[in-house]
Amino acid sequence: MDAPSGHDKNSDQIAYWNGPNGQRWTDRQSEQDVLLAPVSQAMIDRAAAQPGERILDVGCGCGSTSIALAGQVAPSGFVLGIDISSPMLSRARELAPKEAPVDFVLADATVYPFDPASFDVLVSRFGVMFFAEPVVSFANLRRALRPSGRVVFACWREPRENPWMMAPLQAIYQHVPKLPPQGPEDPGPFAFASEEAGAISEGFGDYWAVTVSDVVSKALGVPEREPLPCVADWDSTSYTTSVPHCLRRVDTNLHYPADLNGEVHHDGQIWSRALWDIRQALGNVKADTVILQGSFDFPGTTMPDLANRTFAAAQQLYGTAAANVVHRAFADRGIL
């Protein structure tokens, strides 16, 4: 069985999907297409492909989504399905109508040399969750997208929200040893499950939007038109009604975990408030340094994990007094 070369950390996945397990998934292609049809349709609807567009389908498997999208972009558009599984791609080529504007390539999307800026849309149904190094993989895929490119992918949410998977597994564990535990970002079904990680990212971005704007405006002598904790953009007046026109704020009084509601922009305000309080206490230079140092190569997905890491960074950089300030800021939000 042919198998592609790829990123060294994806070697386990390449071996899996080109061995007996890959063949078993291929043999169940028709059943899987029926089972996953609602997910496929939701992703296709969100992609909103238009005639003439070029689409990249990552982890296309047996090709059902690639073929469906080819029908939407025809006759002048094109779909490229990429997958590491030789048996699944063989089935995809069998199923694709000869006249469909679709092709398939056996390759690792992490390292494949895509033509730069050659696709309008990137889609993936349960494919990108298997990347061992998502940052490296998505950086390569970003180069393949045009500047106006869109990304739509489907991945599973947390295990507790997928009893169809976890209930049988717990029943099996009554009779066989448990599988080795997986880290929250290990390749697999739940690699992108954490909403909390998304909230951290949004809060991190809001904090930097505020702190950088403050530093730059003072350096240039530009007066602030809105209160500093207000996160705004150039057209926020068109879709906010309150004055000042803030998309979000970094000084809200939300607490962890009581005020989490699963919406990452909302929940991110818990994280940004803690960072804001650190800035108020330490000043922007020390605060920004501590926050960046704590965030570098952060391997986890929860606010308490990153708060502890940031606390340790403050201790290392500026000593106990600064570390206590950081700890207090996170404790006030309920994070520590």
pLDDT in tens, 125-149: 999 988 988 889 999 999 999 999 9
Give pLDDT, residue 184: 61
Give per-residue pLDDT as tens, 25-65: 999 999 999 999 999 999 999 999 999 999 999 999 999 99
Stretch 197-213: mean pLDDT: 86
What is the total residue count of the chain? 336
pLDDT at residue 300 tops 70: no
Strands 102-106 and 119-125, by their bridges, are: unpaired
Percentage of residues in the chain with pLDDT exceeding 70?
91
pLDDT category at 280 given cuts 50, 70, 90 is very high
Give pLDDT, residue 272: 96
Stretch 171-198: mean pLDDT: 77
Give pLDDT, residue 31: 95
Q: Which long-range contacts link 266-270 to residues 24+ away (Cβ below 8 Å)?
A: 266/199, 267/195, 267/196, 267/199, 267/202, 267/203, 268/198, 268/199, 268/200, 268/201, 268/202, 268/203, 268/204, 268/205, 268/206, 269/203, 269/206, 270/199, 270/203, 270/303, 270/333, 270/335
Torsion 142-143-147-150 (CA) sign: negative
CA separation for the pair 2, 83 (Å, rounded): 12
278, 311 contact by CB (below 8 A): no
Domain ranges across the chain: 8-155, 195-332
User: What CATH architecture is 8-155?
Assistant: 3-Layer(aba) Sandwich (3.40)
pLDDT at residue 186 tops 80: no
Give pLDDT, residue 234: 45
CA separation for the pair 83, 116 (Å, rounded): 19
pLDDT at residue 179 tops 80: no
* Four-way CATH pick for 195-332: 1.10.357.10, 1.10.390.10, 1.20.58.110, 3.40.50.720: 1.10.390.10
